[in-house]
Structure 1
């Protein structure tokens, strides 16, 4: 274990009562200047923090606009399903901070802070001074002015950031979970918390989470795999091969991280549409035209969908309780964040799926093909989800335009439909094949006998 924080700082005494809400040491620390180097007298303990601070100080104000990445969901999207964008159990970040209905989880966050502090080599005073240097950059990440005071904002980053780090650490290393842990000892609560962690309005900037991971002592940093967050979301969201995918090096936040995992292996910018979007037929119609569906087993939630020689290959599509929330929030992020419509890859992916699953029969067919894993219950629920998720979304370019044109072209050729009919109605099993062959032989014999009779009469 990491060396405990020296008791002379008063942390052991203060933290014991912190979870009960009696005392919170951050409230009693005066706002210090940013001259953190005055604590270099204990250089061993402050070395990791100093590196982070130096990195923050190299930044300048000209970057503030480009750092904006956390938004309020536009009203046109929110009114379609307000629940999909609102936290139910926990507030992460400033946008829902202090809401009365989310106060029950504040005690849990303080308990996790209590666990986090001994895993660092910093006192509470040093932690506050370190995090305070991130404030300006963190505020620039939010699209709207924040009403929290400087002190409250720093305190929020410490509590929420340490909670996220502890949650992910305990997932990776179950031996860190104590008997009194109120989250991991109630497995369903883990998913409730994760559900709130994938909301666009409920995010901490990615650099804050990364930096708080960096405050862990060497003992813990040596044990942490660089992809610990990827493994966490890959498991709880049932995203096959999540940690093996390509990721952007510095995600803006968790939503951006998950979105990056879904991007195509070789992204390309689609051209602006000069004609009506050419969307593909539904799954049943494609099947009736002879298109065969093949599962790409290595990844799920991937945009790597291809069509060649009458076969369309689609990665696993997993639909569960968190799917609508996840899809809507990634789409909302793309709608708010990207100026170029060609960057809205996930929005265009949702449009493609809505085309494939226009009805319950389409969804049930994809489930029989093994492409769709439906945990909602029935095909009607899935088709209703995709028919609604795309409303009020703006798309001027379509990444899957070429795929759609190829599928439509294939379906419009009569010969492909005839082949599909023969295969479906007459060659679907060995008995059908035998019956067709017997009928063909009988017809041939009848024709031969007729010819012979005509020749004999002549």
Structure 2
């Protein structure tokens, strides 16, 4: 291992074994981690002139990489310049992988990185243009998902070096998407937005970076000093919070990758948690990266820990779904509970969280008897428009009855006198 800190890892088995498909590419492999030395026996693997095996499900995209490479090679001496850039950065690229890549000879390693880098950028450009003749468009969503996986990464710096120096590529990017930099282009291609100049290590880290920047309601000095956070994050589930007078609200904001949570005036506000396979995959890979890259503050891991307190039963999902805090795209309510609970299986959770102040405020709120009584009255007698109308009508009739009774008593009293 070199002096540079690695940033691309194999997912630990304690996490991977819970849901292997969330970390395994379906169509395209990027980088060395899903290639195996020819000395390794892999069932069904295909061999080639390269010093590695590759599984058959990836062969179609390997062929597409060659097509993109050959197409790019027709225009000037760009490939020659790019190869020299990769050769100059080879050691730094190898150091980006925690697992040793020494089994891949230099010539083949440079070729691998160059082919994969060209494929990524040409794929993103092609899918944004929407060229009807490119057969890859039919598999766009699958390939795009593969590009997010932690084990399927190239270090971002090499993409930046290669394509920032290519004038023709940058001209196409700027004309089509008004993106002044490669970072802006990639963020745009994945539907992400960061106002400031982002600094991420690869595509998985890009999503983690967007998550971190969504914590706009946490003071900077608090967010960046986790060692000073109190050691508590105990929280009641959504149903009990609701019974304690807590209201839930969805935060209206652009973008869907957010860890934003706040509690003010009895209202817990969050971005809607979308229960579907896409978000499950993104969260899992970002959390795996946080678990492996120990210098990171585990903001996303803490968010999932927070969700695990909120969602413990079908009733919790129903409570949150009523207010749009949970969007169920996977079917039965029990599947949402299962998805949230399994997100944390195998994950090492610390004793502190960026949500500790919120947890404290929620506990204090729910301890108030007055608020619990009001919450009960609201749920029983004013749970919806019809119930509320019926309650008011009944109260009005009761008042009229009471007035009539008092009037009768007074009249009877006068008659008696």
Q: TM-score range by the shorter chain?
A: 0.7 to 0.9
Mapped pair 1:309 → 2:309 = no
TM-score (norm: length of structure 2): 0.83
Q: Which residue of structure 2 lines up, in the alignment, with residue 46 of structure 1?
A: none
- Residue deviations 1:317-371, cap 9 Å, x none? 222222222111111100111336xx10000011111222212222233222122
- The count of aligned residue pairs is 378
Mapped pair 1:207 → 2:157 = yes
Distance 1:300 1:124, change over 3 A: closer
Query: In structure 1, what is the Cα distance between the partners aligned to 2:210 and 2:60?
Result: 33
Mapped pair 1:183 → 2:128 = no
Distance 1:401 1:448, change over 3 A: farther
1:6-85 correspondence to structure 2 within 5 Å: 64-85=2-23
Gaps of 5+ in 1: 1-60, 235-241
Distance 1:151 1:262, change over 3 A: same
Distance 1:169 1:290, change over 3 A: same
Distance 1:115 1:288, change over 3 A: farther
Q: Which residue of structure 2 lines up, in the alignment, with residue 171 of structure 1?
A: 127
Does the Cα contact within 8 Å between 2:4 and 2:92 map onto a contact in 1?
no
- Residue deviations 1:248-279, cap 9 Å, x none? 6331000111111112124513345665x333
Distance 1:110 1:456, change over 3 A: farther
Mapped pair 1:433 → 2:382 = no
Mapped pair 1:230 → 2:187 = yes
1:120-199 correspondence to structure 2 within 5 Å: 121-146=76-101, 147-174=103-130, 177-179=131-133, 181-184=134-137, 186=138, 189-199=139-149
Gaps of 5+ in 2: 36-52
Deviation at 1:431, TM superposition (A): 3.0
Which structure has more RCO (C-alpha within 8 Å, separation ≥ 6)? 2
- Residue deviations 1:227-257, cap 9 Å, x none? 22122222xxxxxxx32x3566331000111
Query: In structure 1, what is the Cα distance between the partners aligned to 2:309 and 2:197?
Result: 29
Mapped pair 1:249 → 2:198 = yes
- Residue deviations 1:191-237, cap 9 Å, x none? 11122112111100011222232243343254251422122222xxx
Mapped pair 1:403 → 2:353 = no
Q: Any idea what SS the aligned residue of 1:439 has?
A: helix
Does the Cα contact within 8 Å between 1:108 and 1:182 map onto a contact in 2?
no
Q: Which residue of structure 2 lines up, in the alignment, with residue 28 of structure 1?
A: none
Q: Any idea what SS the aligned residue of 2:272 has?
A: strand
Query: In structure 2, what is the Cα distance between the partners aligned to 1:440 and 1:391?
Result: 56
Deviation at 1:68, TM superposition (A): 1.3
Does the Cα contact within 8 Å between 1:116 and 1:166 map onto a contact in 2?
no
Q: Any idea what SS the aligned residue of 1:93 has?
A: coil
Q: Which residue of structure 2 lines up, in the alignment, with residue 11 of structure 1?
A: none
Q: Which residue of structure 2 lines up, in the alignment, with residue 89 of structure 1?
A: 27
Does the Cα contact within 8 Å between 1:310 and 1:410 map onto a contact in 2?
yes
Query: In structure 1, what is the Cα distance between the partners aligned to 2:69 and 2:303?
Result: 39
Q: Any idea what SS the aligned residue of 2:107 has?
A: helix
Distance 1:405 1:454, change over 3 A: farther
1:317-336 correspondence to structure 2 within 5 Å: 317-336=273-292
1:256-405 correspondence to structure 2 within 5 Å: 256-263=205-212, 264-265=215-216, 266=218, 267=220, 268=223, 269-271=225-227, 275=231, 277-298=232-253, 299-339=255-295, 343-394=297-348, 395-405=350-360
Query: In structure 1, what is the Cα distance between the partners aligned to 2:410 and 2:70?
Result: 97
Distance 1:418 1:452, change over 3 A: farther
Deviation at 1:377, TM superposition (A): 1.7
Does the Cα contact within 8 Å between 1:319 and 1:376 map onto a contact in 2?
yes
Q: Any idea what SS the aligned residue of 1:382 has?
A: helix
Q: Any idea what SS the aligned residue of 2:80 has?
A: helix
Does the Cα contact within 8 Å between 1:246 and 1:260 map onto a contact in 2?
no
Question: Which of the residues 116, 130, 145 maps onto 2:72?
Answer: 116
Distance 1:111 1:368, change over 3 A: farther
Does the Cα contact within 8 Å between 2:313 and 2:334 map onto a contact in 1?
yes
Distance 1:442 1:199, change over 3 A: same
Query: In structure 1, what is the Cα distance between the partners aligned to 2:318 and 2:76?
Result: 55
Query: In structure 2, what is the Cα distance between the partners aligned to 1:408 and 1:206?
Result: 43
